[in-house]
Amino acid sequence: MNNGFVKLETENKIATLTFFHPKSNSLPSTLLDELTKHFN
């Protein structure tokens, strides 16, 4: 089962943050925490 992911890629000083969860409109707290870390 896919539990979702948070991915950060940087190229030429441009960052792309991608996140996904199979329930589409729902991110569990573990993914929200990981997403927040990328912004801080």
Question: Domain range spanning residue 33?
Answer: 5-39
Q: What pLDDT, on the 0 to 100 scale, is given for residue 11?
A: 96
Query: Would the pLDDT of 9 be above 90?
Result: yes
Provide mean pLDDT across the span 24-37: 83
Q: Note the pTM of the prediction, 2 decimals.
A: 0.63
- The contacts of residue 39 (CB under 8 Å, 6+ apart) are none
Rg of the Cα trace of the chain? 11
CA dist 29 and 10 (Å) reads 24
